[in-house]
């Protein structure tokens, strides 16, 4: 899996004193940047090849400011038109959240989903993870 | 279901010209305020009775600035310690996203989950929805 | 001045239990939507006529969730190429913050500032405020 | 000045294709973490010693995703009860924004401003910058 180190921000805390639960999807998306760059290196709006169909997050432990969070990602499924990214967030050697995001290949010009291009599939294959341990402990 | 009207903000758009996908969990949480107020009217940090265990969002259509979004919520499941909120976001008379959030009753003093108090159950019952049409059209 | 009602969101609180200070620029920008719509009714990216040159916020009192915030805006200065928006945020009948934003007319095609178009000046004139009471009480 | 490296996030772009202007105060606050840690190493809510009185940002160039941003901070003024932090944001070797934040020492227990403690002054002194070049090029 590919690691992204995230330094929690004070603006990401909420009144309960820990990181707000709406922040995890932001961190997970940020950790997927490596995938966006592989598929569309310019990161230009022009030709952006993906839409998002689904996200989910399971919260296991609270996250805090004051120590880094590592978000690990890998691809758990490569479909005909879509792929699924699996994420784990770790802080202080504990798994604090897991989640998934489903991206679909999309042609913004015709406003329709398209088959995954073969070169995209080749770029994504090395990120495939065999087995995902999604238990909540 | 209970409606909350949300006016999309310019800061919620992203470089693809529509509302960023990390915004929907923020809107859904905001629509759940009515539930937080029922269960904990002061909204004080002291005695906050819930943690969040899970969120998910299915994205159906893109959201835009320039017209209001209505987020409808209802409770789809009342468990022993937890309850599930079902959300739908509508814009221009089209369903643009659905999703769920699972909240668990929690005692921050003892740092453990607790059974749903009976008075909380009575407050939540009127929000129960019988049947959720989660088709994506 | 033109009022925009804002319902503070749980995700906008921070660990100190009140609304985080990075939220006020978001609310102020949202309150300026009325100006963006006057100058560029489609809100389309194409032809967006403005860039932002400056923002400032003076924080007077803390903001909380649980009661609405009213952001009042007016134009305090109309220049040759730019205009200044003055903002006040009120909650529970107390002024909690004031601030300014300077927008400059800009041609994204040539990447340069341009003179304020006459029709824009006419649309902005009714928002001019004579006198701004910027005292902090 | 002290540098903080920030990797712009996709969720921080806006519909104009660059980083939204409400993001800069978030990055600037994040860059001030080093100061918060010096003054209040636990980062606990209990005993948090500061409130914020003012922020401002001058936008010089647009910020983009795809390359890191460096935020440099230093203290431009040490007052009796307050101090001013000066910030510069740089991307691709160009200064893209500058700004200031005024923090005031505050006792949340008595809800009033207090004199800057001597040990705080000693911790902040090494961050003082002599001369701030606030030209916009």
Predicted confidence at residue A131, as pLDDT, reads 62
In this complex, do A10 and C13 lie within 8 Å of one another by their Cβ atoms? no
> For C55, which of D16, D17, D21 is closest by C-beta distance?
D21
Residue C137 has pLDDT above 50, yes or no: no
CB D89, CB D127: distance < 8 Å? no
A26: nearest CA partner in chain D: D11
Confidence grade of residue D137 (pLDDT, cut at 50, 70, 90): very low
Retrieve residue D30's tokens: 């994040």
Residue C9 three-state SS: coil
Q: Which residue has tokens 């980083």? A: D19
**Nearest C-alpha of chain A: how many angstroms from C3?**
26
> For D45, which of C15, C52, C58 is closest by C-beta distance?
C15
What helix, strand, coil percent values describe chain A, rounded to 5?
Answer: 20, 40, 40
Predicted confidence at residue B134, as pLDDT, reads 46
Residue C72 has pLDDT above 80, yes or no: yes
* Residues D9-62: tens digit of each pLDDT: 999 998 888 999 999 999 999 999 999 999 999 888 788 899 999 999 999 999
B44: nearest CA partner in chain A: A15
Which DSSP letter does residue B120 get?
A: H
Tell me the C-alpha distance between D72 and D32, whole Å: 9
In this complex, do B17 and D15 lie within 8 Å of one another by their Cβ atoms? yes
Arithmetic mean of pLDDT, C4-28: 93
Tell me the C-alpha distance between A6 and A91, whole Å: 10
Q: What is the CA radius of gyration of chain A?
A: 16
Which DSSP letter does residue B74 get?
A: E
Which DSSP letter does residue B51 get?
A: E
Residues of chain C with Cβ-Cβ distance to D45 below 8 Å are 15-17
Q: Which residue has tokens 């997927």? A: A32
D102: nearest CA partner in chain C: C58
Q: Is A7 exposed, middle or buried (0-12, 13-18, 19+ CB in 10 A)?
A: middle
- Partnered with residue A56 across adjacent β-strands are A100, B56
Residue C19 has pLDDT above 60, yes or no: yes
Report the relative pairing of strands C69-78 and C2-6 from DSSP bridges. antiparallel
* Residues B102-135: tens digit of each pLDDT: 999 999 889 899 999 999 999 999 999 976 554 4
Tell me the C-alpha distance between D108 and A11, whole Å: 19
The three-point CA angle C102-C106-C112 to 5° equals 120
Predicted confidence at residue A132, as pLDDT, reads 54
* Residues B8-61: tens digit of each pLDDT: 999 999 888 899 999 999 999 999 999 999 999 988 878 889 999 999 999 999
Residue A45 has pLDDT above 90, yes or no: no
Predicted confidence at residue B136, as pLDDT, reads 39
Tell me the C-alpha distance between A109 and A47, whole Å: 9
Exposure string over A88-125, b if 16+ CB within 10 A, otherwise e: bbbbeeebbbbbbbbbbbbeeeeeeeeebeeebeeebe
* Residues A112-132: tens digit of each pLDDT: 999 999 999 999 999 999 765
User: Can you give D45-85 as a three-state secondary structure string?
Assistant: CCCCCEEEEEEEEEECCCCCCCCCEEEEEEEEEECCCEEEE
Q: Where are the alpha helices (DSSP H) in chain C?
A: 24-31, 33-39, 118-124
Tell me the C-alpha distance between C30 and C70, whole Å: 11
Neighbours of B89 (CB within 10 A): 26
Arithmetic mean of pLDDT, C31-54: 91
Tell me the C-alpha distance between D76 and D50, whole Å: 17
Neighbours of A36 (CB within 10 A): 18
Mean pLDDT of chain B: 92
Retrieve residue D126's tokens: 């090494």
**C45 vs D: CB within 8 A:** yes
**Which of D30, D54, D64, D96 is best to mutate for the C interface (most C CBs within 10 A)?**
D54
Tell me the C-alpha distance between B39 and C10, whole Å: 15
Predicted confidence at residue A43, as pLDDT, reads 82
In this complex, do D15 and B20 lie within 8 Å of one another by their Cβ atoms? no
Confidence grade of residue C108 (pLDDT, cut at 50, 70, 90): confident
Q: Which residue has tokens 């050697």? A: A93
CB C32, CB C22: distance < 8 Å? no
Residues of chain A with Cβ-Cβ distance to C10 below 8 Å are 14-15, 20
Retrieve residue D56's tokens: 């401002």
Arithmetic mean of pLDDT, B79-97: 98
Confidence grade of residue C47 (pLDDT, cut at 50, 70, 90): confident
């Amino acid at each position: 899996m590919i690691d992204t180190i995230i330094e929690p921000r004070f603006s990401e805390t909420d009144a309960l004193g820990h990181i707000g639960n709406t922040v995890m999807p932001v961190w997970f998306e940020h950790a997927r940047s490596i995938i966006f760059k592989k598929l569309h290196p310019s990161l230009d709006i022009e030709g952006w090849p993906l839409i998002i169909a689904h996200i989910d997050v399971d919260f296991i432990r609270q996250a805090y400011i004051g120590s880094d969070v590592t978000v690990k990602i890998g691809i758990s499924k490569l479909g005909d038109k879509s792929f699924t990214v699996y994420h784990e967030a770790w802080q202080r050697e504990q798994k604090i959240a897991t989640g998934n995001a489903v991206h679909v290949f999309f042609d913004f010009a015709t406003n329709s989903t398209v088959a995954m291009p073969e070169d995209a599939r080749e770029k994504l294959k090395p990120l495939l993870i065999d087995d995902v341990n999604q238990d909540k402990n």
